[in-house]
Homo-oligomer: A and B are copies of this chain.
Amino acid sequence: MERRRPTIIDVAQKAGVSKSTAGRALSGASNVTDEARERVLDAARAVGYERNDLAVGMRSGRTGLLGLVIPDITNPFWAEVARGAQDRAAENGMSLLVFSSDWDHGREASHLRALRQARVDGAIINPVADNFDDLDRFGLPFVLIGSSAERFPATSSVGSDIAQAVRIGMDHLVSKGHHAPALILGPKSRIARARFLRTFHEHCVERDIDPAALPMEDGEYTVEGGHAAMKRLLARGRAGHLAVFAANDMMALGAMVAVREAGLSCPEDVSILGFDGVPAGAFSWPGLTTVAKPGREIGMRAVDCLFDEIAGRPEHGRVFMPCRLVERGSLADLSLSQPRRAAAAGRG
């Protein structure tokens, strides 16, 4: 801090041009001769010049900073989103300010204000569900991510395609011979639950299944929530093999523990399919088969959409990124014990 850093004035003097010409050469503008540009670039290298983004931002209105406001960086899904956003930002010479909101309205408001004060070029936000006012008045380009973005229909957003995810999950269950799986759902207040259920109902209609006849339990999106829901499912009694589609991987992992505690085994007695793709699913025994959300792709796509917002290009509306099946060991394959014709009919 004691030693003054070289400025564009130092570069200009060394190169024997004006600061205007120096600035143009350094920014890659076309209205500079190649000879002048060479002299400027050499001078910049010689004095060790590095751009001051504060000054650039003051005059040009662009800082090269992007903001990311997510619930919790230690949550594996959001860490993947952050990673995708980081990578895309870095590819484009931009830096990412990362905040964890813990789904707290006040924290989010505080983070949004920090972003405004820092004059970021734009932000990617997983909105706290009831935070309409702050987002309306954010005043900078932004893109929403995650399920809660649905509450802001006029805004560009990027999220997992939950409908597609439920569909590939159900198709996979059916292909393994599980035609009437039980469901472990998330809490009633959550948007993701409604989307999950809607697609599940569509799936049943397509296959002439009465959804009301299928066992369903719900709970928090936690290990404990899934554990309790599975216990309730098992307490209903089961006729033969039970298959369960859990609304997220933590619930699925908790359900596995409940199965074990009941003296049963997975997948021999109970098959469990998760939804999320958290890393821990690879280490349960057996490994959890799950429908993985595209966290990293969401992060990258959100940055792309944000660049369009910043550039004033047409809005994207809502973008849904496809999920992907991750096959491990938690689903029994009952299709192997089915007569061929019955399996084909089941796939109708």
Contact = CB atoms under 8 A, between A and B. Distances in A.
A271 interface: no
Contacts of A86: 73, 98-100
A266 to B, nearest CB: 10
A116 B280 contact: no
Q: List 3 tightest A-B contacts by C-beta distance, closest first.
A: A285-B285, A280-B280, A280-B283
Contact of A260 (B61, B74, B280, B285): B285
A132 to B, nearest CB: 18
Given A83-B100, A98-B98, A54 B63 contact: yes
A315 interface: no
Interface in A74-97: 74, 76, 79-80, 82-83, 86-87, 90, 95-97
Interface of A: 1, 5, 50-55, 57-58, 61, 63-65, 72-74, 76, 79-80, 82-83, 86-87, 90, 95-100, 107, 110-111, 113-119, 139, 223, 253, 260, 279-285
Given A96-B97, A99-B95, A100-B86, A118 B260 contact: no
Contacts of A280: 279-280, 282-283
Nearest to A82: B73
A69 B143 CA distance: 25
A223 to B, nearest CB: 8
Contacts of A281: 283
A58 B96 CA distance: 20
A55 B53 contact: no
B99 A114 contact: no
Nearest to A58: B54
A119 B74 contact: no
Contacts of A58: 54-55, 58
Contact of A114 (B5, B57, B95, B285): B95
Given A87-B100, A95-B115, A97-B97, 15 more contacts: A50-B113, A50-B117, A54-B57, A63-B118, A64-B114, A64-B118, A73-B79, A76-B79, A86-B99, A260-B285, A279-B280, A280-B280, A280-B282, A280-B283, A285-B285
Task: Point out which of A50, A53, A64, A281 has the most chain B C-beta atoms below 10 A from its C-beta.
Answer: A53
A117 to B, nearest CB: 5
Contacts of A260: 285
A99 B63 CA distance: 17
- Residue of A5, A79, A223, A281 contacting most chain B CB atoms (<10 Å): A79
Given A63-B54, A82-B73, A118 B95 contact: yes
A283 B54 contact: no
Contacts of A57: 54
A61 B1 contact: yes
